[in-house]
Amino acid sequence: MVAQEDQKYWPLVTFENGQIQFNEDVARATFANPKYENLKISLVSVIGPTRTGKSFLIAYLAEGAPSRFITGRFKSGYDPVTEGIKIFFSPLIFRDDWGILHAVFFLDTQGTFDLKSDREISEWITTLNFLISDIQIINLKGNINGEDLRTVHRASEVAASMNEHQMAKNLLFLVRDTAQPNMDSATFLNCVWSRCSQSKELANVVTSLRKRYPQEHTKCILTPMPSKDLIKADNLALIRGDDLDILHRFEEVEKLIKKTIALNDRSFRSPDDHIYYWKNAIDFLMYRVPRITTTTEMTMESLIINVFDEVYKPLAAILEKTTLEDLKTVGIRLQQTMSNYFDKKPVTDVKLKAELVKRLTKQIESDHYKRKQYLEEEMNARVQEEREQEMIENVRERVQELDSIEEAIKFHQAGHLQEACGGSLKAQRALEFIHSRRSGTRACGCSQHFYENCGECVEVSRENPTK
């Protein structure tokens, strides 16, 4: 049973030697498979602490509960079930109220949010899931505490700092084993927000989260405590008795997913485009992610990156069109463009604005220098080209004036060709070609020998010039 269930969950992402390994073959066999190209593809992932029932939930979402049986990769005990990120091989396919066909793939992840997990891998998993998911399910046990919110906030802010991200726009908190499973979910969330307001730092976290995920994009479902039989279930569970309430809550999750997916506008032009996005997200996490610091600093860094990109685009566009003559005055124009941006979109935070101006100025100076180098090299190449062409034309006239082959050979032997080239190999080759045509000899490939019987050049007689 275990081996059979494992075959249905394919390793999409693994973590080896401090690297994120993306299995493109698995991606192309699932969500990037051309056979699903005419369907709207969506990814739903579940993140949360180790041993809180994530794999059990995925088992239901992926295959349902026929005859109230749930089968999957879940098991009792304390050892983790999932490593990396695994994807169920077959999607949930449904047609929404507008007649659009959807294919939803479910992703199971190894535990995060806890001390049992490697910090760096936990950060990678959490943030990557935010970047690639259409709906992010956060699976918790008992309650939503401050550290849970810090983790969610940090991941969402880092994800938002990636250029052209298509991060999850919908959060679903699935709180398992709650003491009051029948409490209204909106009331439950309000209690969480109210409790966090007692801490200034958590109050800022909640404010930031609610701004990014307003009420219509943040949902919560509570489940009751499972029975002992369900807790002990390995790979197969029969849902009965009081556990039927858990099944009903899972059904609510499924309905919410379908409803949310139908309204979601996240899409990719092609499977290749989707694959490219994944690779870009992983590259961002490994090499370009803001450093993980305090929540306040993380929020600040994210804001800086977002605003920096928005301000810098028009500045970069100006530099790309700047000529060498305009470089001396373009700095004033760039500063004015930056100033105009801040006039239209004021940045009230003094520290944020100061850091933005500092980074923008540094980037502009670097790009200005690179642009100057490029234009000077381009100008030098153009001058050299004109000089060589002038050499060629001057000597062409002199060669054409020669009356005989003998005079042409003497002209070369006297070193007039090399002298006229001024050290330019390109011009020398062109002139030697002109000379060889005029003198009736053909070069051997060595630019030093054009005279007859040198052993390296071939005489071409007047009677048979093609010999």
- pLDDT beyond 90 at 465: no
Q: What is the pLDDT averaged over residues 200-208? A: 88
pLDDT of residue 443: 44
pLDDT digits (tens, 9 = 90+) for 148-163: 999 999 899 889 888 7
pLDDT of residue 418: 61
Higher pLDDT, 107 or 459: 107
Contact assessment for residue 290 and residue 161, using Cβ atoms and an 8 Å cutoff: yes
Higher pLDDT, 237 or 378: 237
pLDDT digits (tens, 9 = 90+) for 354-412: 887 887 888 778 887 888 888 888 888 888 888 877 776 776 666 666 555 566 566 65
> pLDDT band at 464, cuts 50/70/90?
very low
DSSP-derived letter for residue 21 is: E
Higher pLDDT, 305 or 459: 305
Least confident among 1-5, 15-19, 73-77, 104-108: 1-5
Q: What is the CATH number of domain 2-292?
A: 3.40.50.300
Return d(Cα 32, Cα 24) in angstroms, integer.
9
What percent of the chain has a predicted confidence (pLDDT) above 90?
A: 42
- pLDDT beyond 80 at 243: yes
Return d(Cα 218, Cα 192) in angstroms, integer.
13
- pTM of the predicted structure, to 2 decimals: 0.67
pLDDT of residue 466: 40
DSSP states of 137-183: EEEEES---HHHHHHHHHHHHHHHTSTT-----EEEEEEES-S-TTS
Return d(Cα 159, Cα 127) in angstroms, integer.
6
Q: What is the pLDDT averaged over residues 334-354? A: 77
Q: What is the pLDDT averaged over residues 124-138? A: 95
Least confident among 67-71, 128-132, 340-344, 425-429: 425-429
Q: What is the dihedral of CA 190, 192, 195, 199, to 10 degrees?
A: -110
Report domain extents, the chain. 2-292, 299-377, 402-467
pLDDT digits (tens, 9 = 90+) for 266-319: 888 899 999 999 999 999 998 887 665 555 666 666 666 666 767 777 777 888
Q: What is the pLDDT averaged over residues 115-142? A: 88
Structure tokens at 142: 């008992």
pLDDT digits (tens, 9 = 90+) for 74-85: 888 776 778 899
Q: What is the dihedral of CA 163, 169, 175, 176, to 10 degrees?
A: -80
Question: Which residue, chain included where needed, has tokens 């992932």?
Answer: 45
- pLDDT beyond 50 at 30: yes
- CA nearest neighbour of 127 among 52, 45, 55: 45
Least confident among 1-10, 27-36, 136-145: 1-10
Higher pLDDT, 248 or 439: 248
φ/ψ of 12, rounded to 5, equals: -90, -40
Q: How far are the Cα atoms of 78, 179, 321, 371 from residue 375, in angstroms, in the given order? A: 64, 70, 11, 6
pLDDT of residue 121: 85
| H helix intervals, 199-294 | 200-212, 228-231, 244-263, 271-283
Q: How does strand 170-176 pair with strand 218-222?
A: parallel
pLDDT of residue 458: 41
Mapping DSSP to helix (H, G, I), strand (E, B) and coil, where does residue 283 land?
helix
Return d(Cα 467, Cα 457) in angstroms, integer.
13
- CA nearest neighbour of 389 among 353, 420, 356, 365: 420
